[in-house]
Structure 1
Amino acid sequence: MNRVILSGRLTKDPEVRYTDAGMSIASFSLAADRKFKTNDGVTADFINCKAFKQTAEFIEKYFHRGDGIELEGRIQTGSYTNKDGVKVYTTDVMVDNVEFPKGKAAGEQAQTNRPDPGKAKNNEFMNIPDGVEDEGMPFN
């Protein structure tokens, strides 16, 4: 099975182009941190990615240089002969799904939108109308 899940940051804005048939293709590079630093100081891998159709348009609209991104796809290898007659080998991730990262900043934002239960005011709780039997309540 050929599946890959990556989390990283865009190294530059995605480049989007359209085929003659109108299909959108987004090309971008993802910097994915390595767990450990190598002897030559490398701390990240730079992975070329391609997305198509609605996924490409979503990436173009919502992701820019430096933004975090999480994606799922498959690895595809290929080759071509350049103008100097040299065979060039390629490795790209063909993106199927993208998500916004669920990192520390997203968690902090979610926390600021929640009321603090220790500081709750009486009007923050739902009033139970008269006539409702408390036997059906799940917290008895």
Structure 2
Amino acid sequence: MMNRVVLVGRLTKDPDLRYTPSGVPVATFTLAVNRTFTNQQGEKEADFINCVIWRRPAENVANFLKKGSLAGVDGRIQTRSYEGQDGKRVYVTEVVAESVQFLEPRNSSGGRGDGMNNYGGSREQDSAFGQNHNQNQRQPMNQGYTRMDEDPFSNSGKIDISDDDLPF
């Protein structure tokens, strides 16, 4: 059996960070995910999916994402129930995120604007937070080339390479 969810969307409001009585952080947020088709009026619709994430990634989500931020969520669907104030059973279906990837810089239109790079919060990445992330910055695409429009095959279609340099 398999229960796996992968979503990409924008947060509808700032994440809500809380702590359990034992001190475990938990963040909840709603992700607006566009549907791939349009309705009869030609407009795109969206689904609003409730998500929850625990522990250190929850703190990262609360610190680095806000309303409008683009995020990728990898997790599983979980259903739970509780007794409401009126005595009726309330059922909740939500995505329990195992990792959240921050898909745009914080200084872009959806971000907070203080220059933070794209760093997601997952169990594998927890130890990297709080450290200097300069080594993760993207390098320019033209690094090592003098001109982007320079054609490497401009010498009449011939390439000067020996058979010894080929990997096959």
Q: CA deviation at 1:71?
A: 1.1
- Aligned with 1:82 (options 81, 84, 97): 84
Which residue is 1:46 aligned to?
48
TM-score normalised over the length of structure 1:
0.72
Residue equivalent to 1:65? 67
- Aligned partner of 1:115 in structure 2 is 142
Instruction: Return the letter of the residue paired with 2:25.
Output: S
Q: How far apart in 1 are the matches of 2:9 and 2:95?
A: 13
Unmatched runs of 5 consecutive residues or more in structure 1: 121-135
Spell out the pairing of 1:1-140 with structure 2 (5 A cutoff): 1-39=2-40, 43-101=45-103, 113-115=140-142, 117=145, 119=147
- TM-score, normalised to structure 2's length? 0.61
After TM superposition, give the deviation of residue 39 of structure 1 in Å. Answer: 4.7
Residue segments in structure 2 that go unaligned for 5+ positions in a row: 109-117, 119-136, 149-163
Secondary structure of 2:18's counterpart equals strand
- The one-letter code sitting in structure 2 at the alignment partner of 1:6 is L
Deviation at 1:48, TM superposition (A): 0.3
**AA of the residue aligned to 1:25:** V
State the identity %: 40
After TM superposition, give the deviation of residue 42 of structure 1 in Å: 6.4
Deviation of 1:100 after TM superposition, in Å, equals 2.2
Q: Which has the higher contact order (CA 8 A, sep 6+)?
A: 1
Q: Distance in 1 between matches of 2:30 and 2:141?
A: 36
Contact 2:34 2:44 survives alignment (8 Å):
no
Which structure has the highest helix share of the two? 1
Cα distance in 2 between the residues matched to 1:90 and 1:37: 28
Deviation at 1:57, TM superposition (A): 0.9
Cα distance in 1 between the residues matched to 2:48 and 2:81: 19
**In the alignment, residue 9 of structure 1 is paired with which amino acid?**
R
User: Could you say what secondary structure the match of 1:54 adopts?
Assistant: helix
Number of residue pairs aligned between Structure 1 and Structure 2 = 121
